[in-house]
Structure formats: structure tokens, C-alpha cells
Amino acid sequence: MKSILFISGIFSFGLAMAQAAEPLSIEDCYTMARQNYPLIKKQDLIAESKEYSVKNVSTAFLPQFTVNGQATYQSAVTTIKVPNVDIPILSNEQYRLYAEVNQVIFEGGTNNLQKKSIEANSAIEQQQLEVELYKLNERINQLFFGIILAKEQLAQTGMLKKDIRLGLDKVKASIANGTALKSSGDALEAELLKADQRAIEVQSLHHAYISMLSYFINKPLSENSVLVRPASPVAAQQINRPELILYEKEKMSMDIQDQLVKAKNLPKIGLFLQGGMGRPGLDLLKNEFDTYYIGGVRLNWSLSGLYTTKNDRALLNIQRKSVDLQQ
């Protein structure tokens, strides 16, 4: 049993070393770091939030039900006196309980624009996340190329130490023959010590970079991991930064907001049906509880938005200019 476990452990160790030795490109690191980064989970949350918000806005075209009731006491009521006619006097206490159904027919296009606004804001959030993830590439660059640079510095330091040792051997031979001073050997010993210290510093930095890159990409790496040097970059003909896409999406959202400002000042038309009971009912001369219903078309046109339309559009223009400056 112990031999089986021992063989299994050796196999697992060998497999881990083989995986660590697989060539790793900078593009692979970008992909794995993106998949492992906690913020990537926010993409699904933004999409779900947009879906629920759009569904909520869509309910505006569904029939809207309300139930209302009131009980009042009036200091005076209408009385009608006609000779030889007995007309009942209304009670000072009046009651009403009714339900009402409203169905929107025309709302100036605000519903559709609100959906577009939600989708535009969701797209902005997604792009802001892309900007944040793009910054992750810069961190990967620092670690990836830091490992390559540290490895080259270690090789360079090794060559330097080799040269110093060769020189030190020659100086020691000269000192033994009396053709060189002992101070010359001491100077080379000091240089060799500095080179050793430099090698320890670079080795420590190399190990730290490997550990950090391993943490970012969620993959075990070792000193033997092979990093593939990317080819020399070719200058792009145009700038493809995620921030530029973000600015365009923000401008599109402002255009939708501008349309919403106009749509909110348009009249709203809908159907309604009201039914209930009260004292009095629709017959004001009947001083008793009675049921009733009433239906028709309702127009609602709020003109108070005209007071702020000019300022709202001025604010949107300021926001556009702010985005242009950032761009």
C-alpha cells in the first residue's frame, strides 16, 4: 500500500512539473487572469439586473389595478326644496369604496425610451468593467516581463561571477608569484561578494514575480516554467482602447436621455374602468348605499416639465463636453 502511495505521489509530482514546464504565452496569461479575476463575475450580475429592470418597465403597458376608499364628514350638503315634492336630504357622512383599472394607450414613447436607457446604462457598466479588466493586462505585463527580465539578469550576473572568478584565479597566481599585490585580490573578492548579493536579490525578485503571476492566473508555476517571449509589436494604425468605446456608449446614453426629456412633456392617454359602492352612489339624490361603475378615456398632460426642459438639455450638453475632454 505504501509503495502504491509513493508511486502515486511521484506521478502527481511529475505531472505537476510537466504542467508547470508547459510554454506559457502572454495571451494565455491574459485569458487565465481574466477568468480568475473576481470582477468577471460582475458581468452576469449586470446582465441580470438589466433583464429585471427592462421587465419592470414593460409592466407599464399592463392593466394597472388600484383600490381606493374614503369616509368623509361634510359640514354642509346640497339640499333641494321643491313644493309638494319629497326630496331626501343627503347625510353629512359619506362613504366610497371602489376599484379602478387603467390601461395606457399612448405615453409619448417614454416606455420604449426607458428600456433603451436601461440597456444603454447596462452597456456602460459592462464597458466600465472591460476598462477595469484591461488594467489587469498591465499588471500581467509587469509580472510576465519582470520574470523574463529577472531571468536574464540572473544569467548576466552568473556570467559576471564567472569572469570575476577567472580574474581572481589569475590574480591569486600572480600574488603567489609576487607579481601582484594582495589588495588586487581583495578588490576582486569584494566584487564577487557584490555579485553574489545581486544574484540573491534578483533570485528573490524572480521568485516573487512567479508567485504573483501564479496567483493571478490561478495556475501553479515554478522556476522552470517556460515563458514564451512575444514577437516584436507592430504599431497599430488606430487606437483600440476600451475607454474610447466607453465614451461612445456614454454619448449614446445621453442622446436617449435627451429624447426622454422631450417625451416626458407629451400628453398621456389611457382607458379606465371604475366600479364600487358608496353613499351616495352616482345618484346624488339617493341617500343610501349603492353600487356603480364608470368608464372612459383619460387624458393626462403635465406641463410642469416645460419649466426644466431647457436646463435638462443644458446639463446633458455639459456632460457631453465632459466626455469629449476625457476622450
The structural domains of the chain, with segments of one domain joined by +, span: 18-326
CA 215/CA 219 separation, integer angstroms = 7
User: E strands within the chain?
Assistant: 64-73, 93-106, 268-279, 290-300
SS3 at position 143: helix
Predicted local distance difference test score (pLDDT) of residue 83: 80
Using 50 as the pLDDT threshold, list the residues of the chain that sit under it. Answer: 1-8, 10-11, 13-20
Predicted local distance difference test score (pLDDT) of residue 202: 92
To the nearest 10 degrees (0 to 180), the angle between helices 26-36 and 110-177 is: 130
Residue 249: Cβ within 10 Å count: 20
Distances, alpha carbon 170 to alpha carbons 32, 176, 179, in Å? 52, 10, 11
281-313 per-position pLDDT tens digit? 888 778 888 999 999 999 999 888 888 999 999
Predicted local distance difference test score (pLDDT) of residue 180: 66
**Superfamily for domain range 18-326:** Outer membrane efflux proteins (OEP) (1.20.1600.10)
Among 117, 118, 106, 124, which Cα is nearest to 261's?
117
Does pTM top 0.85 for this prediction? no
